[in-house]
Amino acid sequence: MSNAREFGTPLPPLWLAFALLGWGLLTDNLAGALVMALLVEGIRYAPLKWALAEREFHRAADLTSVVFALITAVQFSRYSVHGIYQILKVAPYCFFPLVLVQRASTAQTIPMSALFYSLRRQRDYAARLDVAPYYLAMCLLAASTGAVHDARYGAFCVAIVLGLLSAARPRRYAWTTWMLCLALSAGLALLTQMGVLRAQRWVEDSVMYWVNQFPWAVNDANREVTAIGAIGRLKLSDQIRLRVSPGPEVKLPLLLQEASYDVFHFGTWSAQQAPFAALDKRAGAAVWDLDKVARAPGTRLQLSLQHRRELSLLPAPRGTRVVASNEIAELQRNRFGALMAESPPGALSYTVEQGPTAGQQTPPTTDDSAVPPQYRALLDETLAEVGIDGLDAAQRTARIRAFFLDHFKYSLIQPDTFAWRTPLADFLRNTRRGHCEYFATASVLLLRAAGIPARYAVGYMVDEYSPLERAYIARARHAHAWALAFVDGQWQVIDSTPATWYELEDARATDWQTVQDLAAWVVYRYQRLAQANLSDFTDQLLWLVPPLAALLYWRLRRSPLAVRNAARSAGAAADAAPSLLAPLLEALAAAGQHPAQGETVAHFLRRAAPATRGGVSSDELVRLYYQLRYGPAPDAVRARFIQCLIAYCGESLA
């Protein structure tokens, strides 16, 4: 709807600066926000403006696009899909040139063709846009990526939106009506907020359960939903998750454990009462000692984990005593020994030191010996077949492992099962084939049924060497599950999955794997380079900002496009001959006064405008207008006309 009053949403004075400062405060970009706020409001009230042509606006928009594209590429390469929040967080930086150029221009708007490349070819398309309200909205959205538990964000949103609404308030209503409506909206907002929170809880409780069933889901320290019972072929990707540079003493294949669980219920393993607690860092070094007892140095492994979340489980070999990494902000551990590291998403490099013992893990509890009642008969029946009578714990463990290795086969394909049989029963009695989760779960339950405390563990098996990476790698399809049995006073790995599983998995590699590996290697190298040098490099670049800014200011001041505000108003009036009195006519139109058809300016002003205002009579204004309009007038007349027009129109002209 093209209406002069609707040209843009009016912003209260200094509101853009307020929005920028709020965004800076909430996202820890206060210094940058302060500079931008000063620039964007300072230039608005500065006496100097630049008469920019469309070409300059196009250049500013192109610069913005390039900066945005670069930042998008960098953030996506570093944070994958989570990069969208990082891009949003810095979006006010990207689009700042555009709003600054608008504020510095005499037009105070930008042509639409600056935003849409296709419009640049349409010569007759003259629509313009005030980008300030949109930039303000972007600041609001960008500020939402700050700390999640920050109560200031809500207040910030309310303040900004209230300012917007008060500036756009229709004059037909009284302030009291306006405030009453706001109160109504506030009540509605409160109810909606409660509803959203409740809905989110419901989503987390129900829907996420199903989402987690996807095999690519990231492991959770508190819960592991297995694919037991899933029908058809399990599909896992070739994506490289881990890069390992083992020392000469490390034996391969290597099991890297992420988490272990103690309670099994309807195909889901969970860790009961296992909250994470932060570990203390060694003074002056980014090193965490998991085992406080001083021991002789063990074997060292250099690992690099590709992860997508700020908090991620750290795969580590059994017996890990020390973790060292400059990229980990905080390291936490639960009672099962699972390690949770806080670090930016992307590639996380860390070193672990591994000792010969099992490492620090809590002794078994009653949960580690519990057998779900519905499986009791099945397990007793299977144990009878295994034959463990008269054997000690170590022998029983070995017999159970041998039972699986001798009588079961590894398979990623599960046939359809009948509804009255559980998948585990089908696995133990009939099919005797399955993937590692079947083997690990059945092993844990059999061990428990045999009186040996056991846990279910997940992680990766590392056995593939990549000449390109010059390291051992673990792909997503190398994710593995095994049992932990508490024998002879320590937790031992019982991997009962037939050793052929690794070859079977590798046989499923896609033809594109080489290309994918090459791409993954390039991205990984870039991430390492960025993490190592980029922050230092950008810090050094900051020193260039003041002299460059000074140079830019000097050039802009001397630019032939620079126009002073007073000259701008006068120039605009004098250059466009038919609109010499445009400011005055617009002011009268806003007050509901329009010239009748064919009515002369002189007659209209005598009829509709005040006879004298600001010490200037309307008659004199009309006389000067006609002098300028219909004949060559000396500069003195032109200057006098501008003075009179400014005095007559007052603030409305400025």
The residue ranges that bind other proteins (CB under 8 A) are 1-3, 5-6, 8-9, 84-85, 88, 118, 121-122, 124-125, 133-134, 137, 140-141, 143-146, 148, 150, 153-154, 157-158, 161, 164-165, 168-173, 177-178, 180-182, 184-186, 188-189, 192-193, 196-197, 200, 591-594, 596-597
Q: Who's near 245: CB < 8 A, 6+ residues apart? A: 301, 302, 303, 470, 471, 472
Give the nearer residue to other proteins in terms of CB position, either 357 or 600: 600
Give the nearer residue to other proteins in terms of CB position, either 8 or 97: 8
Strands 433-434, 409-410: pairing is parallel
Give the nearer residue to other proteins in terms of CB position, either 66 or 203: 203
Minimum CB distance to other proteins, residue 134 (Å):
7
Give the nearer residue to other proteins in terms of CB position, either 186 or 541: 186
Give the C-alpha separation, 189 to 572, whole Å: 46
State which amino acid sits at residue 323: V
Tokens of 102: 């608008």
Give the nearer residue to other proteins in terms of CB position, either 171 or 292: 171
Distances (CA, A) of 647 to 115, 566, 603, 616, 652: 38, 12, 21, 7, 10
21 and 37 in contact (C-beta within 8 Å)? yes
Per DSSP, 3 falls in state -
Minimum CB distance to other proteins, residue 200 (Å):
5
CA angle 491, 497, 499 (to 5 degrees): 110
Minimum CB distance to other proteins, residue 107 (Å):
18
Give the C-alpha separation, 265 to 537, whole Å: 52
Give the C-alpha separation, 315 to 258, whole Å: 4
257 and 484 in contact (C-beta within 8 Å)? no
Give the nearer residue to other proteins in terms of CB position, either 207 or 252: 207
Minimum CB distance to other proteins, residue 159 (Å):
11
Minimum CB distance to other proteins, residue 647 (Å):
26
Minimum CB distance to other proteins, residue 590 (Å):
8
Q: Dihedral angle at the C-alpha atoms of 66, 70, 76, 78, nearest 10 degrees? A: -170
Minimum CB distance to other proteins, residue 69 (Å):
19
Minimum CB distance to other proteins, residue 180 (Å):
8
282 and 289 in contact (C-beta within 8 Å)? yes
Minimum CB distance to other proteins, residue 227 (Å):
24
Distances (CA, A) of 22 to 30, 136, 142, 267, 280: 8, 11, 10, 47, 34
Give the C-alpha separation, 137 to 161, whole Å: 9
Give the nearer residue to other proteins in terms of CB position, either 10 or 571: 10
H/E run at residue 456: strand 454-462
Minimum CB distance to other proteins, residue 58 (Å):
16
H/E run at residue 15: helix 15-26
Question: Order of strands, edge to edge, in the sheet holding 464-466?
Answer: 287-289, 320-324, 346-354, 299-307, 240-246, 471-475, 464-466
Tokens of 461: 């098996």
Give the nearer residue to other proteins in terms of CB position, either 175 or 418: 175
Minimum CB distance to other proteins, residue 211 (Å):
11
